[in-house]
Structure 1
């Protein structure tokens, strides 16, 4: 819960020019880490082919209700993974939603293990046919396609609960010990994020942004949402930047230890903070983004244990019993989160100082430290002269204030170098 003293946004001495520059920088860095149109097409093609195969296979044909995406591609927060073995590979997560009748075959304490084994056997045939690498994990199976692209396929069994938000898509997923089924609602979680993203922020300076898309009609193979629609939302952009900063801050796991906060935790914190803070008047989008980052640590519960340690919880309202902060309950993870959040706020302040007048070279050094070499390339490209179109590029942000449009320079030469 938010503390009462945090209800009023902190007043920051930010010029509208600095806000425009910062917003432009965030947009450019995020877009530079997204899939290209070709890669998005490959993701969609692989998603469709794999989904159709699963619905037609003998083992699951009579049990599959839907195959749908979950995670970053579904909600528009996808970024290039930090993986030295496949630097250009992107991930897409698939969910195979089975009918309740699947429990007749996969119930009992051995059922979750049988379900994962059968899914692996089915997908192994597909992998062998197409020359793909395949890996079985505790609760999903991973296919690796050409160019390092990966798909994590997770089976769930329907269990509608109509007393909760998006309860019609509530389900059960194998636990990591493969002995029980845990509550899960990947489609409900995506719909919850989309609901937050549709909130119109209130700005004292006027801006405008296209409203977020409504949920698409669902079929057996649920189509992926339009990439441009979900990727360009303000909340999705913020999550992309948070995940990118997290990736650079933590790097690749060392000796099997990975203290980086999970994407579902970061995404849920950002969505919760956005839902709380967006309706409160802010000067501009930058002021809102900084307020969201400040608010994130207040959006989960901390219980002090007798040992002196803390237990963190962030209930998944679409799946009772699912703790979105469950991966954060070690001293190492909690300390790492606190250090990362401090590093993040420090980098944002340094970026603002550079944009306010320190010049391009100091800015590039901060961008490199915060977001990596690829982000530096994105900022450098903003400085390169290019032909000026007749109509300036416009970045629009929805507002309940009197709406106007914030025009961004079509040619950004010396945009940060002045």
Structure 2
């Protein structure tokens, strides 16, 4: 019989103490790096125009004959966890779109040949659109990719509605085709976003929230530009955490871990783990947001099940909170991927501790930037350098120099992530 290696228990992490001053500085750095990975208003407008044009085209295509009723975004853009591609020659973003079809589409696309036929029809329609607009197009096993202007890539996957009254978030359940396997799998992108938002809405339990708020206000008084208010920091904790994890994963699997990029844990695996950890850890008493974040990272492996098989291999399971029966860890069930995840988890804990130690010790900007670049890449370090230069320039007129290594903040505004629909 298989043996359960790791029960689904959630022990508290032994307490650690990091000063509020260091917590404020750390979150400034993470926030500055996170904002670097957000699309500009111009990019958002261009992307909205592009995908709405695509949606209007598909809605009138003869391949679907009125069956397609909506195109909406899902994944990182909708969750507020977007990160730029590792390729620094690209300024565009990669987004995921869903082309939703009415449930009656299964009469047309059912059976063993149905998944391939649906994907073929989607590709044929989008190919006409791509040719008419001079766009590149590529087909995959579950989606079709369009390259819009300015290196914006959109993966468009078809889903046939199959709502359920017995499942949580069941009103938005659907089936996604897999051309290779000739099957339809359960999926629920809208439900997943609702589950993520529910976790993100949990108020963290900080034992010294007043002191933390005062530390932010003190930093504001000490510098020219203000920090985000504490409430804004709390509201976006989960999204910023996921951004940080994904960015570190991208950098680690490109350089530090020493394995090929295809061994990296998927974004949905990382995001679901982070949301599960946040939902458990946030209500527990923590001294500061930074300590909460470090505890979440520490306990990530607790939130999926590992079973020892008779052949000595492990089988990992991470249930989709919005689509019962879907294992979001299915792509992790090879020894190489599992070993790579374990190595990455150890690496991010080590490098975060190193960054925090540098902040606590008030190391110089050169030391801190080197550690940030190692953990989060050249683009992230450059964002901090550019912000420091901007602050120096803006304060030169009044004879005041502001160094980000000492926690200089900037104002940010929390955004609702509803640009691409509910």
Contact conserved, 2:247 with 2:376, CA < 8 A, in 1?
Answer: yes
Distance (whole Å) between structure 2 residues aligned to residue 34 and residue 268 of structure 1: 21
Say yes or no: does 1:271 pair with 2:279: no
Which residue does 1:121 correspond to in 2? 124
In the TM superposition, what is the alpha-carbon distance from 1:261 to its structure 2 partner? 0.5
For the structure 1 residues 285 and 254, does the alpha-carbon distance in structure 2 shift closer, same or farther, using more than 3 Å as the test? closer
SS in 1 for 2:100: strand
Contact conserved, 2:8 with 2:304, CA < 8 A, in 1?
Answer: no
Cα deviation 1:365-390 (Å, max 9, x = unaligned): 111110111111122234332546xx
For the structure 1 residues 130 and 296, does the alpha-carbon distance in structure 2 shift closer, same or farther, using more than 3 Å as the test? same
Match of 2:367 among 362, 365, 378: 362
Distance (whole Å) between structure 2 residues aligned to residue 61 and residue 261 of structure 1: 38
TM-score (norm 1): 0.84
Match of 2:205 among 202, 210, 222: 202
For the structure 1 residues 24 and 412, does the alpha-carbon distance in structure 2 shift closer, same or farther, using more than 3 Å as the test? farther
SS in 2 for 1:344: helix
Structure 1 portions without partners, runs of 5+: 210-228, 389-410
Distance (whole Å) between structure 1 residues aligned to residue 261 and residue 352 of structure 2: 27
Which residue does 1:220 correspond to in 2? none
Cα deviation 1:229-274 (Å, max 9, x = unaligned): 9997211111111111011111299998610110000010011111
In the TM superposition, what is the alpha-carbon distance from 1:206 to its structure 2 partner? 1.7
Distance (whole Å) between structure 2 residues aligned to residue 415 and residue 315 of structure 1: 41
Contact conserved, 2:55 with 2:71, CA < 8 A, in 1?
Answer: yes
Which residue does 2:380 correspond to in 1? 375
Distance (whole Å) between structure 2 residues aligned to residue 255 and residue 286 of structure 1: 29
The 4+ residue runs of structure 1 with deviation greater than 4 A are: 229-232, 252-257
Within 5 Å, which residues of 2 pair with 1:103-122?
A: 103-122=106-125
In the TM superposition, what is the alpha-carbon distance from 1:74 to its structure 2 partner? 0.9
SS in 2 for 1:35: coil
Contact conserved, 1:383 with 1:412, CA < 8 A, in 2?
Answer: no
Contact conserved, 1:382 with 1:413, CA < 8 A, in 2?
Answer: no
Within 5 Å, which residues of 2 pair with 1:13-32?
A: 13-32=17-36
Distance (whole Å) between structure 2 residues aligned to residue 125 and residue 254 of structure 1: 41
SS in 1 for 2:137: strand
Query: RMSD across aligned C-alpha pairs, in angstroms?
Result: 2.4
Count residues in correspondence.
374
SS in 1 for 2:182: coil
Distance (whole Å) between structure 1 residues aligned to residue 142 and residue 102 of structure 2: 18
For the structure 1 residues 368 and 152, does the alpha-carbon distance in structure 2 shift closer, same or farther, using more than 3 Å as the test? same
Say yes or no: does 1:283 pair with 2:250: no
Distance (whole Å) between structure 1 residues aligned to residue 8 and residue 282 of structure 2: 14
Say yes or no: does 1:414 pair with 2:403: yes
Distance (whole Å) between structure 2 residues aligned to residue 352 and residue 141 of structure 1: 42
Structure 2 portions without partners, runs of 5+: 1-6, 214-231, 408-422
Distance (whole Å) between structure 2 residues aligned to residue 254 and residue 93 of structure 1: 28
Distance (whole Å) between structure 2 residues aligned to residue 312 and residue 150 of structure 1: 31
For the structure 1 residues 335 and 273, does the alpha-carbon distance in structure 2 shift closer, same or farther, using more than 3 Å as the test? same
Which residue does 1:352 correspond to in 2? 356
Higher relative contact order (CA 8 A, sep 6+): 2
Cα deviation 1:20-58 (Å, max 9, x = unaligned): 110111101111222222222222222221122222222
For the structure 1 residues 277 and 51, does the alpha-carbon distance in structure 2 shift closer, same or farther, using more than 3 Å as the test? same
